[in-house]
Copies of this chain bind each other. A is one copy, B any other.
Amino acid sequence: MANSDPVYLRVVEDLRRQITEGLLQPGAPIPSRHQITRKYGVGETAARHALRVLAQEGLIIGRVGSGHRVRQRPDLLPLHRAQAHFSTDMHAVGRRPTCDVKTDSAEARPDIAVRLRIAAQSPVTRTRIVYRSDGKPVQLAVSYEPIVYNDGTDDITQVAHRLGGNGLKLTEVTEHVYARVPQPVESDVLDLPAGVHVLHVERTHWAGDKPVETSDVIIPCDQFRLVYSLPAPYGDQTGR
């Protein structure tokens, strides 16, 4: 049974156990390929594969010439979605937030049209934002709003204020959250290590039952976590 398991798994499981149990502290060196072949009596292929798997899991990090070490796992920075103020969250941990904003016009893609409840290929204002922390890009966002609402203000970070000024009263925000593999562009811009996934948040602002703006926010899984605060939902619960 355990005998027929792949050899490299034995190595993976032993090292993983040592890391998660704290026997190997963050920063501690991991045995090299050669040392693994000797210590565990496996081939070089198995040793290399084991190291790759652990690196993929984010437990260790390798540098050419210097070896593998147990990865420092900085706490995932919380992003408070109720406010959704990137700059507030960054200031709270002493980072210097900035962002690039580019606005243009485009035709709504089918999925965007569905989210905005408009006809496909309707004109929309598209805003691309690159959020930076201490100069490094750490988040991406693309926002779409029906072009009728746009009044030329190009600071999308104040979208709600602007929309409010247009006589629309925003009542609700919905967010759909899932994780996926980054697209090449995304891992390029965000400089993601191999294997790191991204959180994809599809956010829509509502005025009553009308969607007025929707955006896709791309967040690296290895740096951030989302924090939601909700009212306790059990008051009017009628049972399951």
Chain B residues whose C-beta falls within 8 Å of the C-beta of A230 in the assembled complex = 81-82, 172-175, 228, 230
Q: Is the CB of B174 within 8 A of A237?
A: no
A25 adjacent to chain B (CB < 8 Å): no
- CA of A84 to CA of B234, assembled, Å: 10
Q: How far is the CA of A114 from the CA of B158 in the complex (A)?
A: 36
- Report the Cα distance A199→B76, complex, angstroms: 14
Q: How far is the CA of A219 from the CA of B229 in the complex (A)?
A: 19
When distances are taken between beta carbons in the complex, the residues of chain B under 8 Å from A164 are 234
- The 21 listed contacts between A and B (C-beta, < 8 Å) are A56-B56, A83-B233, A157-B240, A160-B234, A164-B234, A170-B232, A173-B230, A174-B227, A174-B230, A175-B226, A176-B225, A176-B226, A177-B199, A177-B228, A178-B221, A178-B225, A178-B226, A179-B179, A179-B197, A180-B221, A228-B228
B residues less than 8 Å from A101 (CB atoms):
none
| Chain B CB within 8 A of A183 CB | yes
- Name A85's closest neighbour in chain B (CB-CB): B240
Residue pair A226, B56 in contact (C-beta under 8 Å)? no
> A156 at interface (Cβ–Cβ under 8 A)?
no
A171 at the interface (CB under 8 A from B): yes
| Complex contacts, A96 vs chain B, CB 8 Å | none
Partner pick for A174 among B13, B172, B179, B228, CB 8 A cutoff: B228
For this complex, into which size category does the number of interface residues on chain A fall?
35 or more
Interface residues of A (CB under 8 A from B): 13, 16, 20, 56-59, 76, 78, 81-85, 87-88, 157-158, 160-161, 164, 170-181, 183-184, 195, 197, 199, 205-206, 221, 224-234, 237, 240
Chain B residues with CB under 8 Å of A56's CB are 56, 181, 195
Select A231's contact among B171, B178, B226, beta carbons within 8 Å: B171
CB distance from A117 to the nearest CB of B (A): 17
Residue among A57, A87, A177 having the largest count of chain B Cβ atoms under 10 Å: A177
Q: How far is the CA of A175 from the CA of B81 in the complex (A)?
A: 10
Interface pair A16/B81, CB less than 8 Å apart:
no
Q: Chain B residues near A227 (CB, 8 Å)?
A: 174-177
Give the CA-CA distance A195 to B160 in the complex, in Å.
38
Q: Which residues of B contact A234 (CB under 8 A)?
A: 160-161, 164, 170
Give the shortest distance, in Å, between A168 (CB) and chain B (any CB): 10
